[in-house]
Chain A
Amino acid sequence: MTSTKVISEEKIAFDINNIRNDFPILSRKVNGKPLIYLDSGATAQKPKQVIDAIEKYYSEQNANIHRAVHRLSQDITTIYENARTTVQKHINAKHVHEIIFTHGTTESINLVATTFGKKFVNAGDEILITEMEHHSNILPWQQLCEEKNAVLKVVPINSEGELIMDEFKKLLSAKTKIVAITHTSNTLGTINPIKEIISLAHANNIPVLVDGAQSIPHTKVNVQELDADFYCFSGHKVFGPTGVGVLYGKEEWLRKLPNYQVGGGTIKTVSFAKTEYADIPLRFEAGTPNIEGGIGLAVALDYINNIGFENISAYEHELLEYATEKLSVVEGLKIIGTSKNKASVISFVIDKIHPYDIGVILDQLGIAVRTGHHCTQPIMDKFGIPGTVRASLAFYNTKDEIDELVKGITKAKQMLR
């Protein structure tokens, strides 16, 4: 089932067997077959280090943070705030208070759309997104535009699933208030030229929000180098727990934004006459947060940094190339999203067969893929398809698993014809 590959001998050796052993779920069976998990784009599996950290939190450390003088509360506050620092360092944010813990990418985007929209968007203004956005980076802006009578502008993509940069340049206007764009497409795998996009927007004094949900698991992100104004991602897609995410915002922007949700934890003093709010980031973190989520996320980031992104990227790229080559020769199979610059995500359709049917047969073989529109219905409309089958690969996948996928597809084709 597995093959051993040593990519870098200077750092820790990238031993796929050792890595797979870190992920307990990968040894389970599904429908009597060894699980082949090719749905990391939906949610990634968790290494035992993360699982252990969560167990330790509940069995040894549980207390509320920022609340009490007792020992447990003080200890866990320190651990939680250290987790924030881990995130800061991981994405190279300038300040730790630029890291806001949220429930996930979706909440991070909603937070910005709501607060930025309240203060900076008026009737006739424009918000620029792209045709390849996840619904979570469409709907908050669409709703804002409806509320404010603003206009949602959409940068089209070409048949390879790449942004048409000339159209992007044309659509940037004096009315554009913010650009919201994905770093990596969850459906097509396309990695957008985000640095260039930010620099073009900044030349027009327009801030940029980046949906980084699909890039954070695959590449080292440096928010200062990108010069992103806002960068959002989810813990569960980067091998951490569900229900925790991050909103990075440049200090000057976060200070300008009005409150989002308010309540416990967001204040300095409260009276019925006047409330004085806390400073960032706590001003944006109402209520008791997902404490184990924040801690688990930091452990997950430590885990992948220990493997090293140079190893991860090289290995995933090799997997992507291998899968693309093997799938391309399957008769009637068409890959949707053929950009040269791709993350390890492969969406495909098969002539005259509904993606759902393929998904059901693959499931019987223990192979987990995603089928459907992947929360990107505009992309499906663009390509005129009901949905795709998507195999999204992580560094714990192997070439053997890709071979099994190809065999499974061949079997499905035989049954469904």
Chain B
Amino acid sequence: MMRPLLAVLRRDLRLARRRAGETLLGVLFFVLALSLFPFGVGPAPDILARIGGGVIWVLALLSVLLSLDRLWQSDFEDGSLEQLALAAVPLELVVLAKCAAHWLSGGLLLVLVAPLLAVLMAMPAEAMLVLPLTLLLGTPTLTLVGSIGAALLLGARRGGALVALLVLPLYIPVLIFGVSAAEGALMGLGGTAQLLILGAMLLVSAALAPFAAAAALRLALE
């Protein structure tokens, strides 16, 4: 059971490495879009530090949203998705493996560059630890929930704009708790409760999202 899933994981990671330019585009967007904010709101450090947590979270969320078409689209076009659906392992587990690979080659990179962005936003030193921690718990949820929306839109006439409409409303709770965990910890109020809720959302979406995404994929492959 595990071997085919590990094979899927390795294959997707290898593909991500070979298309490194495409993979890194999400991170590039993350950094580039952030550098717009000092120009937009002015470079005063106190303002930047105040909005930093929220801005970094919103940009991470948008970066995941932009990378969602990478998840199914090319496999859908070249037919490998059909092979995966025909495989002996349940499609739900394949979804989980593909989401894991997508997160390792996307969300994880966002977590790794987040400390750098915290510095750019003139945030306090603790933010370099707290912010990546919240993103570490939050971004996998974003990938899992987004996988449903991306799978539903396979073969749609205008998928690009629609995926935002389908997925962003479901991202709002993650954003709320991610930002409040980061800010709570930074202001010394403690963000443990919010972190626990982020973890709970991750567990629930890991348990349920594969079923919805697999149903949507089967529908697309009919």
A and B from one complex: no
